[in-house]
Chains A and B, each alone.
Chain A
Amino acid sequence: MVPVSKERNGSQKEIVKMAEKYELKAENVYKYFGGLKALDGATVLVEKGKLTSLIGPNGSGKSTFFNVITGYLDYDEDDANVQFQVHDIGNDEPAEIANKGMVRTFQHTRNFPKMTVLENMLVSPKDQAGESILWVFLGKPLWKRQEAKFVVKAMTILKFLEIDHVVDHLAEELSGGQQKLLAIGRLLMTQPSLLLLDEPVAGVNPTLANKIFDRIIQLKDTKGIDVLLIEHNMDVIMAFSDEIFVLADGKVIAQGTPEEIQANRKVLDAYLGESPDEA
């Protein structure tokens, strides 16, 4: 179904060639929790310029897949091959991966509750001169100018996400939908090239869900930021995705456009249980 390279690291040429087509290439990802196979050789490819979705029934290993490829959990077998752009990120720490441009949200929205929305946004930028203790004292003229630039950028992003009217509130005072938008905004401050969104519209009303997806599409089209997302809301998934991977019991059982997925027998079986005529 999906081409799988046997070598963990291909030649430099191959890597560059793959990076031209794929933003993220995660092959043969294994993860066991005791005897449970959470991920059983899952392979997901994110093509450049396409909105890729990862769906599957509960417990199929979607969030575990995110946790493994972003470095929060370790790989369980050595033959995993995870390549983001031209970087092999198999052994990287989560913070290193985020600094390379692949950032993620969490299933339960995690912002900084007791900080204002603006401060939430300002934590994100990388290479801030004022984050080094020595430069806090010595480089004040520099980091103040950086801050002024970041504030303008943060305000623009908040306006784009239509939550600029709550900029002076604490993050914990925001509604659920606004918190999800803030989480995306925080990621945008890092100048990402790939967003991994874990259920960006869970528990959000359909109007706001459509708005969030409009924003995601807009990001992809105008900024060239690729998106891989997990979602259970089939309406928006089928309406907006370019490519869908279906995960069940830790394996990718189907891959294709929304139409192909809807017509796929295996996917129906995974969601609803095996149909009696096949048994």
Chain B
Amino acid sequence: MEKEYLSLKRTPISKVIMDTLSGLIPQSVYTYYQKHKSVILMISFGLPVFALFLTPLFNGNISGLAYYLDALTIACIFAGMALTLNLEAGFLGLPNFGKVAFIAVGAYSFAIPVSIMTTKLEAGTLGFNYTMVIYIGLAISIIVSGLFGVLLALPTLKLREDYLAITTIVAGEILRLVLNNEDSLGGYSGFNIDNPVYITYDSSEFMSSSFITMSQLALILIITALSYYSYYRSSKKVIEHLPKDRHLLLSISKGFSTFVILGLLLVFLNYTKVLSYKALLGLDMLIIILAAIFIIYKSLLLNKIKVEVFYVVMIVVAIVDYLLGLITGNGATGIKYTDWYTFVMALGGMALVFVIVEELYYSPFGRTLKSIREDDTSSVSVGKSVFSFRLRALVVASALSGFMGSIFAMYTVIIIPQTFLPLMTFTLYIMMIIGGTANNKGVIFGAFVIQLLYAVTKGPLVQSNDFFIKNGLDPVNLGLIFVGITLIFFLIYAPEGIVPEHRYNNQRYYDMLYLNDEENQSENPLIAQLIKLSGSSLEGEEWITEGDS
């Protein structure tokens, strides 16, 4: 009652509009909209952007293919950053407005050791190669930004949400101003990254030593096949608890997911010329068609499992890739190998962050984070230490955003303090809100839509059109205008975003129940070892009710 009154008072115009609309539109259409809200929103916001993004390609204007690669790379990087923000602000409800500080720390702590090591390497006083330099740089950046997370968390985590927001935004600004005035870190003009890829002129040779070779890939495929086979064997126990068609669906979808991910990886590796064999057109066609069949199979034929946004995004990227290769022929695209390399790094980084964040979300840890977001006092009353959970989540999110920050540094080559304005944090927030707070797949979708929109307004389609210039409008600002309008629209009509959080997800708990049928679980050598190492136990007091009336 009270709530209704408040919402009426807050959005009177929108309420009036909605009421009028629902009066005009037939009830069946309205219920259809409510039922398929996320798909409709996804198409109505995603499709125009993707269409505009791809238009120059079909205009025959393919001179600037680097433009596509650039846009997709930065979209992947921002998607990864938005995912780490989602871990803090979406799952845990911690309004960290100093996200840009963690990215800056990650970028600088990657750039500094790498340039030191590269100087030594060129002088011949270093015992390892360029590949190791990058890996060591990434490791340092992850550790340093994780520690920075602890440093910022200790004084601020016990603050109330609004004060935490103020403190973190100020922390980000302080860091930027320090970097701006510290001459040893490059000061205002920024810090150059001695990217080993740019130094080694034979970059294809570099990459073939950095990434997996054909035989290694074959090994991975064999391992995946074996793991799928064992999954299929072990999941036979599920049959007793699930309808048979659902069981079949589960194992098929598991197998297909593995196949799609590895197949797309193969396509990317193929186009990056990492593999020593020539690009095989037929192989790529096969993989892309199978992936498409996978989606159609899941969404249309059985209509029981939702289409997974992540795979859709991956496949769109792959198809764009493929078209580029098809039109221009491999190796004739005018794209530098180093750009491909950065793109693969960005995509791989995003995928890694996605997997980590998704695993955390569907674990007891993620569930406790959600409970703290819902009601922290109540979490304390069942014995959860709120501070410890917040600290650990913040440290993981900082380390991951430091990782994405170092990939960002690789992409920009020169890092300038002016890049790390608070606006970057807000862009990440907008991506999260539009995509769907606390839904990782939605966040990736939101990041892609917004980054591609920015790319369109900066790209050849808009820039070659002198309509805007004639009317005294800088086309680059168009993106900001559109995103602002979209944000307002979403905050009023769909505050939960394009793909809302999946809340009614009890099925995955029922799917675990078959594990109870195992006899002598604690005698299983693997489980016994895990119990020993973790200090946890499987022995719980059984709850038996007697005299139930």
* Interfacial residues, chain A to chain B (CB-CB below 8 A): 70, 72, 93-96, 98-99, 103-106, 110-116, 118-120, 122-133, 135-139, 141-153, 156-157, 159-160, 167-168, 170, 186-191, 214, 218, 222
Q: Cβ of B382 and Cβ of A187 under 8 Å apart? A: yes
Indicate if B537 sits at the interface (CB-CB under 8 A): yes
15 contacts between A and B (CB under 8 A): A94-B381, A95-B380, A111-B378, A112-B370, A112-B375, A124-B382, A126-B383, A133-B365, A136-B360, A139-B536, A146-B540, A147-B509, A151-B513, A160-B548, A168-B506
Binary interface encoding of chain B residues 63-84 relative to chain A, with 1 for a CB under 8 A from any of its CBs, else 0: 0000000000000000000000
Complex Cα gap A218–B549 (Å): 10
Identity of the chain A residue whose Cβ is nearest the Cβ of B514 in the assembled complex:
A148
B247 CB to nearest A CB, Å: 17
Beyond known contacts A95-B383, A95-B385, A119-B367: 17 more, CB 8 A cutoff = A111-B378, A112-B370, A116-B505, A123-B368, A131-B365, A135-B534, A136-B359, A136-B360, A136-B363, A139-B533, A139-B534, A144-B512, A151-B512, A156-B543, A170-B504, A187-B382, A218-B547
B496 CB to nearest A CB, Å: 10
Complex Cα gap A168–B504 (Å): 7
Complex Cα gap A72–B380 (Å): 10
Complex Cα gap A122–B514 (Å): 18
Could you say which of A106, A136, A146, A170 contacts B365, with CB atoms under 8 Å apart?
Answer: A136
Complex Cα gap A159–B370 (Å): 25
A139 CB to nearest B CB, Å: 5
Describe A's contact surface by its main secondary structure: helix
What's the A-B contact tally at a CB cutoff of 8 Å?
175
Q: Cβ of B504 and Cβ of A142 under 8 Å apart? A: no
Q: Cβ of B363 and Cβ of A98 under 8 Å apart? A: no
B contact residues, range = 35 or more
B474 CB to nearest A CB, Å: 42
B532 CB to nearest A CB, Å: 10
Q: Cβ of B545 and Cβ of A156 under 8 Å apart? A: yes
Q: Cβ of A110 and Cβ of B363 under 8 Å apart? A: no
Could you say which of B359, B374, B386, B531 contacts A115, with CB atoms under 8 Å apart?
Answer: B374
A233 CB to nearest B CB, Å: 21
Q: Cβ of B370 and Cβ of A145 under 8 Å apart? A: no
Q: What residues of chain A lie closer than 8 Å to B543, measured between beta carbons?
A: 153, 156-157, 160, 188
Q: What residues of chain A lie closer than 8 Å to B530, measured between beta carbons?
A: 129, 138-139, 141-142
Indicate if B61 sits at the interface (CB-CB under 8 A): no
Complex Cα gap A132–B364 (Å): 9
A231 CB to nearest B CB, Å: 19
Q: Cβ of A115 and Cβ of B536 under 8 Å apart? A: no
Contact A115 B370, CB 8 Å, known A128-B536, A167-B506: yes
Complex Cα gap A115–B374 (Å): 8
A273 CB to nearest B CB, Å: 33
Complex Cα gap A100–B303 (Å): 48
Q: What residues of chain A lie closer than 8 Å to B527, measured between beta carbons?
A: 141-142, 145
Identity of the chain B residue whose Cβ is nearest the Cβ of A189 in the assembled complex:
B382
Complex Cα gap A95–B512 (Å): 29
Complex Cα gap A265–B532 (Å): 60
Binary interface encoding of chain B residues 345-368 relative to chain A, with 1 for a CB under 8 A from any of its CBs, else 0: 000000000000001100111011
Q: Cβ of A95 and Cβ of B510 under 8 Å apart? A: no
Q: Cβ of B526 and Cβ of A141 under 8 Å apart? A: yes
Complex Cα gap A139–B384 (Å): 20
Complex Cα gap A3–B386 (Å): 37
Indicate if B541 sits at the interface (CB-CB under 8 A): yes
Indicate if B103 sits at the interface (CB-CB under 8 A): no
Indicate if B379 sits at the interface (CB-CB under 8 A): yes
Q: Cβ of B384 and Cβ of A123 under 8 Å apart? A: yes
Q: Cβ of B516 and Cβ of A159 under 8 Å apart? A: no
Contact A119 B506, CB 8 Å, known A149-B538, A190-B383: yes
Closest 8 CB pairs of A and B: A130-B364, A98-B383, A112-B374, A129-B536, A99-B383, A142-B530, A148-B515, A110-B378
Q: Cβ of B516 and Cβ of A148 under 8 Å apart? A: yes
Q: What residues of chain B lie closer than 8 Å to A94, measured between beta carbons?
A: 380-381
A217 CB to nearest B CB, Å: 11
Q: What residues of chain A lie closer than 8 Å to B501, measured between beta carbons?
A: 114
Indicate if B371 sits at the interface (CB-CB under 8 A): yes
Q: Cβ of A160 and Cβ of B371 under 8 Å apart? A: no
Could you say which of B365, B392, B548 contacts A130, with CB atoms under 8 Å apart?
Answer: B365
Could you say which of B367, B378, B546, B549 contacts A106, with CB atoms under 8 Å apart?
Answer: B378
Q: Cβ of B385 and Cβ of A93 under 8 Å apart? A: yes
Q: Cβ of B540 and Cβ of A147 under 8 Å apart? A: no
B515 CB to nearest A CB, Å: 4
Q: Cβ of B503 and Cβ of A114 under 8 Å apart? A: yes
Indicate if B396 sits at the interface (CB-CB under 8 A): yes
Candidate in A135, A142, A160 with the most chain B CB atoms within 10 angstroms? A142
Q: Cβ of A152 and Cβ of B516 under 8 Å apart? A: yes
Complex Cα gap A226–B381 (Å): 17
Q: Cβ of B374 and Cβ of A113 under 8 Å apart? A: yes
Indicate if B521 sits at the interface (CB-CB under 8 A): yes
